[in-house]
């Protein structure tokens, strides 16, 4: 019988999907998360990738680790001290081209994995629908919706990315695999109008030019993968589904990108 697959961050947006798909494939799953052990499928463990607490115990006896959180140094250290399991990591398209602080940290993690001596697989994806929806929700709070001029996004559904990660975890180490983009490259203003219509809000939209290299990189589309429109679920489909379910995302979705402190959610 195959050893379990460990999913670090298996209670998050993507990690939950990975856990579900791996279990559907008939494999055992261990789920590592911070704080109190949650309920749900798989065997749940407690640990912290930032301090390394609990990682040695979590990686023992597994042959694959799917990492849906960061940072990576303690994870790599624990894996090297174990049986050198296959490390599968979710990353972001354009982290080597957009000079954004969080992207630089993700790129450093990729480089650490590639040079570690571990068998590894890295999948880069474009921004999730959840992230775009949260960003637009925040931008729509003032009476005037101010958006960066000429920015485009290629949002993808987190469930499709999670399913792809699960397939990679069940396969052989593949190094850097082809990027995974959403089905459409869309102007931010168009996405904003779609969001406003979905939530029944009216806001004048003003496009502005901003200074800085990050703005220019996004304007140039360095975060896009137009040659890899792998996703099938559009932003409109995502919004419709979330509104019907009453589960449009809130600020916790972007905490990983911004490192904002946790705040109480309001419904």
Span 184-231, pLDDT tens digits: 999 999 999 999 999 899 999 999 999 999 999 999 999 999 999 999
Report yes or no on 265 lying in a domain. no
Q: What is the 3-state secondary structure (H, E, C) of 42-89?
A: CEEEECCCCCCCCHHHHHCCCCEEEECCCCCHHHHHHHHHCCCCEEEE
Report yes or no on 267 lying in a domain. no
| Residue 55, token pair as written in the block | 């990682």
State which residues form the domain around 51: 5-256
Q: How many domains, in total, are found in the chain?
A: 1
Q: Distance between CA atoms of 218 and 103, rounded to whole angstroms? A: 13
Q: Place 33 in a pLDDT band, splitting at 50, 70 and 90.
A: confident
Report yes or no on 22 lying in a domain. yes
Report yes or no on 261 lying in a domain. no
Domain at 50, CATH number: 3.40.50.720
The 10 Å Cβ neighbour count of residue 232 is 11
Report yes or no on 79 lying in a domain. yes
Question: Which three-class secondary structure state does DSSP give residue 107?
Answer: helix
Give pTM, 2 decimals: 0.89
Note the pLDDT tens digit of each residue in 44-102: 899 999 999 999 999 999 999 999 999 999 999 999 999 999 999 999 999 999 999 99
């Amino acid at each position: 019988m195959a050893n379990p697959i460990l999913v670090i961050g298996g209670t998050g947006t993507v990690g939950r999907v990975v856990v579900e798909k791996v279990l559907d494939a008939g494999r055992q799953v261990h789920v590592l998360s911070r704080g109190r052990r949650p309920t749900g499928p798989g065997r749940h463990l407690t640990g912290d990738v930032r301090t390394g607490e609990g990682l040695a115990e979590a990686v023992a006896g597994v042959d694959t680790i799917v990492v849906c959180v960061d940072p990576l140094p303690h994870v790599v250290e624990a894996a090297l001290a174990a049986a050198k399991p296959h490390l599968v990591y979710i990353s972001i398209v354009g982290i080597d081209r957009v000079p954004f602080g969080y992207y630089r940290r993700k790129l450093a993690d990729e480089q650490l994995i590639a040079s570690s001596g571990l068998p590894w697989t890295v999948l880069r994806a474009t921004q999730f629908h959840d992230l775009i929806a949260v960003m637009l929700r925040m931008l729509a709070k003032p009476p005037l919706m101010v958006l960066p001029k000429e920015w485009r996004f290629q949002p993808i559904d987190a469930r499709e990315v999670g399913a792809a990660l699960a397939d990679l975890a069940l396969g052989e180490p593949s190094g850097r695999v082809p990027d995974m983009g959403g089905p459409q490259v869309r102007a931010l203003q168009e996405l904003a109008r779609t969001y406003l219509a979905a939530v029944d809000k009216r806001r004048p939209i003003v496009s502005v030019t901003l200074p800085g290299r990050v703005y220019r990189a996004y304007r140039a589309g360095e975060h896009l993968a137009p040659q890899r429109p792998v996703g099938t679920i559009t932003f409109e489909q995502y919004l419709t589904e979330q509104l019907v379910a009453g589960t449009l995302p809130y600020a916790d979705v972007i905490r990983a990108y911004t490192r904002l402190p946790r705040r109480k959610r309001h419904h």
